[in-house]
Structure 1
Amino acid sequence: MKRIGLLTSGGDCAGLNAALRAVYARAHHGYGWTVVGIRNGTAGLMERPVQAEELDDRALSSDLLRLGGTILGTTNKGNPFKFPMEDGSFVDRSNEVIEGYRKLNLDALIMIGGDGSMAIIRKLAKQGNIPLVAIPKTIDNDIGATETSIGFETAVQAATSALDHLQPTAASHSRVMVLELMGRDAGHIALWAGIAGGADVILIPEIPYKLSAVCEKLEQLKKRGRNFALVVVAESVKTETGEAVTAVHGGGAGATRTYGGIGQYIGEEIARLTGAETRVTVLGHVQRGGTPEPGDRVIASAFGVHAVDLIAEKRYDRMVGWNNRRVVDVPIEDAIRAAQTVDPQGELVTAARGLGISFGDSIA
Structure 2
Amino acid sequence: MRIGLLTGGGDCPGLNAAIRAVVKRGLGEYGHSIIGFRNGWKGVAEGDVMPLTRNDIRGVLDTGGTLLGTARFHPHSADGGLDAVRATLEAERIEALICIGGDGTLHAASKVAETGTKIVAIPKTIDNDVAGTDRSIGFDTAVHIATEAIDRIHTTAESHNRVMVVELMGRSAGWIAVQAGIAGGAEVVLTPEEPFDIDRITRYLKHRHRAHASFSIVVVAEGAVPAEGTSMEWETKYGTFGEIVSGAVSERVAEEIAARTGFDTRVTVLGHVQRGGTPLPSDRILGSRFGVAAVDALQQGHTGVMTALRGEEVVLVPLEEVAGRAKPVPAELIQVANALA
Fold similarity call, TM over 0.5: yes
Give 1:349 shift. 2.8
Give 1:80 shift. 2.2
Measure the CA separation in 2 of the matches of 1:27 and 1:7: 15
DSSP-derived class of the 2:34 partner: strand
Counterpart in the other structure of 1:74: 70
Counterpart in the other structure of 1:121: 109
Answering whether residue 181 of structure 2 is matched by residue 194 of structure 1, we say: yes
Q: Is the 8 A contact 1:239 1:265 kept in 2?
A: no
Aligned length: 336
TM-score (norm 1): 0.89
Give 1:259 shift. 4.0
Give 1:164 shift. 1.0
Of all paired residues, the percent bearing the same amino acid is 44
Match of 2:61 among 46, 62, 65: 65
DSSP-derived class of the 1:248 partner: coil
DSSP-derived class of the 2:239 partner: strand
Answering whether residue 228 of structure 2 is matched by residue 229 of structure 1, we say: no
Counterpart in the other structure of 1:248: 239
Counterpart in the other structure of 2:267: 280
Q: Structure 2: where are the runs of 5+ without partners? A: none
CA deviation string 1:48-76 (max 9, x = no partner): xx211211112442x21111110101111
Q: Structure 1: where are the runs of 5+ without partners? A: 84-90, 250-254, 357-364
Give 1:338 shift. 3.0
Measure the CA separation in 2 of the matches of 1:69 and 1:60: 13
Counterpart in the other structure of 1:96: 84
Counterpart in the other structure of 1:174: 161
Answering whether residue 197 of structure 2 is matched by residue 210 of structure 1, we say: yes
Q: Is the 8 A contact 1:184 1:259 kept in 2?
A: no
Give 1:169 shift. 0.6
Measure the CA separation in 2 of the matches of 1:162 and 1:246: 25
Q: Is the 8 A contact 1:24 1:59 kept in 2?
A: no
Give 1:285 shift. 0.6
Q: Is the 8 A contact 1:13 1:151 kept in 2?
A: yes
Please tell me the residue identity of whatever aligns with 1:340.
K
Counterpart in the other structure of 1:55: 52
Please tell me the residue identity of whatever aligns with 2:66.
T
Answering whether residue 152 of structure 2 is matched by residue 155 of structure 1, we say: no
Measure the CA separation in 1 of the matches of 2:93 and 2:3: 9
Counterpart in the other structure of 2:11: 12
Distance 1:209 1:258, change over 3 A: closer
Equivalences for residues 100-115 of structure 1 within 5 A: 100-115=88-103
Give 1:208 shift. 2.1
Counterpart in the other structure of 2:340: 355
Measure the CA separation in 2 of the matches of 1:80 and 1:5: 16
Distance 1:198 1:75, change over 3 A: same
Measure the CA separation in 2 of the matches of 1:244 and 1:4: 44
Give 1:258 shift. 2.4
Match of 1:143 among 115, 130, 137: 130
Q: Is the 8 A contact 1:81 1:93 kept in 2?
A: yes
Please tell me the residue identity of whatever aligns with 1:246.
K
Please tell me the residue identity of whatever aligns with 1:57.
R
Answering whether residue 218 of structure 2 is matched by residue 238 of structure 1, we say: no
DSSP-derived class of the 2:317 partner: strand
Give 1:82 shift. 3.0
DSSP-derived class of the 2:314 partner: strand
CA deviation string 1:158-206 (max 9, x = no partner): 1111101111110111110000010010011000000000100000111
DSSP-derived class of the 1:246 partner: coil
Give 1:272 shift. 0.4
Give 1:93 shift. 2.3
DSSP-derived class of the 1:342 partner: coil
Counterpart in the other structure of 1:302: 289
CA deviation string 1:299-320 (max 9, x = no partner): 0000000000000001110000
DSSP-derived class of the 2:164 partner: strand
Distance 1:107 1:146, change over 3 A: same
Measure the CA separation in 2 of the matches of 1:301 and 1:242: 45
Please tell me the residue identity of whatever aligns with 1:100.
T
Please tell me the residue identity of whatever aligns with 2:84.
E
Measure the CA separation in 1 of the matches of 2:338 and 2:166: 19
Q: Is the 8 A contact 1:136 1:150 kept in 2?
A: yes
Q: Is the 8 A contact 2:76 2:111 kept in 1?
A: no
Please tell me the residue identity of whatever aligns with 1:351.
V
Please tell me the residue identity of whatever aligns with 2:76.
F
DSSP-derived class of the 1:66 partner: coil
Q: Is the 8 A contact 2:308 2:316 kept in 1?
A: yes
DSSP-derived class of the 2:244 partner: strand
Measure the CA separation in 2 of the matches of 1:291 and 1:242: 39
Q: Is the 8 A contact 2:166 2:270 kept in 1?
A: yes
Q: Is the 8 A contact 1:236 1:259 kept in 2?
A: no
Give 1:121 shift. 2.0
